[in-house]
Amino acid sequence: MATSRRQNSQRLTLLILVLASITAITLDYRGPASSAIGSVRNSARDAVAPIQRGLSALFRPVGDFFAGAVNYGAVVSANAQLRNEVGQLRRQALENAGAEQQLNELLSVQHLPFLQNSKTVVAEVVSSSSSNFALTVEIDRGRADGVGPGMPVVSGAGLIGTVVSAGSTTSLVRLITDPDSHIGVRLPDGTIAVADGQGLGEPLSLADITSSAPRPKKGQLVVTSGLQGATFPAGLPVGTVSAVKTSGGALTRQVEMEPVASLSNLQYVDVIQWLPAP
């Protein structure tokens, strides 16, 4: 019973304060009573302020929810636009990086030190055919550009192959790893050998190296020999020694070599306008 009377008293007090606040705010006196009215109005505001703050804190999340619901579509649209702009910037960055890579590859096949004064034709690789039986690439230069069968083809690192057929505007290049590829090479100590292709993903095999010759060292650079009647001019980098094996009692060594050029990622190459002497 006492609890009920206390609650009724609290409700009555709250009602009186609210009415007093409304009355003080709405009245607008002039003259001697204005000071007294202003005092009452300020007291009422001070008394009601805690209640107003409590109600504001209570209902603010509800207001925020409805405001967010109203603006949700605009927020989603803005986020979608931002994602689209970020995607465009990423694509542009990738395109710029690709253009820079192409430029670097193009510059790498110009003024190569091992070409000396040889005349060359810059070409772009347009397609490739890779299998264990035929390792070739097609380039966008042919007879109309001064490219013909038998001409060596190099990248920025070194020898990649030779032209085996040429049309008017395109040519087919056999890679040095093709099983039908045979290159006369010279080791740093002067040893002469033949580098044979062994297929896709396989190293070149150096044949005709006798066990009495100096043992090749891993990492040594091997270049074309350029002997009379050779298919390639002298001094073109071909590969580096990757393995040396000698069987007991054998008269020759098994030497393997990794190409210096990345044959799986070719884009620009140089065709050397050179043919072996008849």
Q: Quick: pLDDT tens for 61-111.
A: 555 555 555 566 676 667 666 665 665 665 555 555 545 555 555 555 555
- How many whole angstroms separate alpha carbon 120 and alpha carbon 135? 23
pLDDT the model gives residue 67: 53
DSSP state of 215: P
Q: Which of 58-72, 78-92, 183-197, 246-260 has the lowest mean pLDDT?
A: 58-72
pLDDT above 60 for 263: yes
Q: Scanning the structure block, which residue is given the tokens 């298919």?
A: 231
- pLDDT band at residue 30 using 50, 70 and 90 as cut-offs: very low
Give strand pairing partners of 153. Answer: 161, 271
Tell me which of 181 and 75 has the higher pLDDT.
Answer: 181
Query: CA 268, 272, 273: angle at the middle one, nearest 5?
Result: 135
pLDDT above 50 for 225: yes
Chain-centre distance for alpha carbon 45: 66
Chain-centre distance for alpha carbon 151: 34
- How many whole angstroms separate alpha carbon 274 and alpha carbon 150? 8
pLDDT the model gives residue 170: 95
Task: Spell out the domain ranges in the chain.
Answer: 1-108, 118-272
CATH 2.60.40.1120 assigned to domain 118-272? The reply is no
pLDDT the model gives residue 38: 47
- How many whole angstroms separate alpha carbon 200 and alpha carbon 193? 21
pLDDT above 90 for 13: no
Element (H, E) at 17: helix 2-26
pLDDT the model gives residue 167: 94
Q: Which of 38-47, 123-132, 242-251 has the lowest mean pLDDT?
A: 38-47
Tell me which of 260 and 131 has the higher pLDDT.
Answer: 260
- Supply the DSSP string of 94-143, one letter for each residue: HHHHHHHHHHHHHHHTSS-GGGTT--EEEEEEEEEEESSS-EEEEES--G
Element (H, E) at 254: strand 254-259
Residue 54: Cβ within 10 Å count: 10
Report yes or no: 183 and 224 within 8 Å, Cβ to Cβ. yes
Mean pLDDT of the chain: 75
pLDDT the model gives residue 156: 81
Contacts of 267 (CB under 8 A, 6+ apart): 102, 105, 124, 125
pLDDT the model gives residue 198: 93
pLDDT the model gives residue 276: 76
pLDDT the model gives residue 31: 45
Averaged pLDDT, 40-61: 53
pLDDT the model gives residue 150: 93
